[in-house]
Amino acid sequence: MENNKNIDWKNLPFGYYPTDYNVRCYYRDGKWGALEVTSSEYISIHMAATALHYGQEAFEGMKAYRGKDGKVRLFRWEENAKRMRKSAEGIMMAEVPDELFYEAITRAVKMNADYIPPFGTGAALYLRPLLFGSGPQVGVKPAEEYMFMVFVTPVGPYFKEGFKPVPIELVRDYDRAAPQGTGHIKVGGNYAASMRPADRAHQEGFASILFLDSKERKYIDEAGPANFFGIKNKKYITPQSSSILPSITNMSLEQIAMDIGLTVERRPVAVDELDTFEEAGACGTAAIISPIGRIFDRSTGKEYGYGPIAGPFSTEMYIHLRAIQEGEIEDKHNWTSVVEGV
């Protein structure tokens, strides 16, 4: 594909890069209006909007990939649409119907076709659907008006120096979400709560953080903005917890793990079990898999090591999932959908 914008795809960071258009839609008087296309990067909302005061806000993160065959594919978009509906339900926002979600993401992709990175660069077009309470309230109650929008931005390859394990810091003095709170939905407050320990970990030389369950501090919870998994004895093991976001990547890796002959266990994973894994990783849309080289328990000083190179199963699963997303191998679970006309 031609690069009309002279973008250095391979060196793009995972950050905001302006594109030409975004799409928006308003919920008023109990119904969604028509999608609007705009080239403005700004939104105008009421100063008493519930999103600004009470955190009535949810988002999604997904990617569109240009395949070897030139086609552009979305990966399991229905799962993102469903998760956004769950997020809306969890904090009493108007739900975005799947048809509207699909129309918005595909329009945003098509209108910004020049920003879809070519196959082979490792880069992709990141899609950010966003839903928030735009109507005013002063008391703590849900807004009566909502805004749904989708913007896209090209993001570079996650591993610029190859698929290399990263160090992670286990934190016991911060919690991301409560067991009966909002950890299982993708609302902004969860991310605000994770910033301080994440920033400290970065300053201390770690790539990310590992939270424990906030009730007993005994079980592995979320791995920063990703799910955790460990591998041992040909088993793919990932935590079960009410405060973890159901990762679409993790769900897919569970299937791929089975496809390549591993058994899958989703159950509480005690911290002590970290010592027994042969491989460990964090998974999510941004990186697919971030192999974990070591986990440092900041409070106890204990360290769990998994070696300086990614393990064989993590590597195989990573290659496999990427190949499905980029249309290189058969998509036997029907996970991808081609965006026609780009």
Q: Which residues bind ligand PLP (CB under 6 A)?
A: 61, 222, 225-227, 245, 247-250, 284-285
- Smallest distance, Å, CB 145 to ligand PLP? 26
301 CB neighbour count, 10 Å cutoff: 7
- Considering beta carbons, is residue 87 or 247 the nearer one to ligand PLP? 247
Nearest by Cα to 153 from 330, 22, 249: 22
Active site residue 186: yes
- Considering beta carbons, is residue 106 or 227 the nearer one to ligand PLP? 227
Q: Token pair 């955190």 is at which residue?
A: 55
- Smallest distance, Å, CB 34 to ligand PLP? 28
H/E segment holding residue 166: strand 166-171
- Smallest distance, Å, CB 100 to ligand PLP? 20
Q: Which amino acid is at 177?
A: A
- Smallest distance, Å, CB 183 to ligand PLP? 8
Report in angstroms the alpha-carbon separations of 315 from 117, 253, 281, 296: 23, 12, 10, 23
Number of helices followed by number of strands (H, E) in the chain: 6, 17
Q: Token pair 């090209």 is at which residue?
A: 154
- Considering beta carbons, is residue 111 or 290 the nearer one to ligand PLP? 290
H/E segment holding residue 323: helix 312-325
User: What is the Cα–Cα distance from 257 to 236, expressed in whole angstroms?
Assistant: 7
Sign of the dihedral through C-alpha 102, 111, 250, 181: negative
- Considering beta carbons, is residue 122 or 142 the nearer one to ligand PLP? 122
- Smallest distance, Å, CB 237 to ligand PLP? 16
The catalytic residue among 63, 71, 186, 332 is 186
Nearest by Cα to 339 from 108, 155, 14: 108
User: What is the Cα–Cα distance from 23 to 12, expressed in whole angstroms?
Assistant: 23
Active site residues: 186
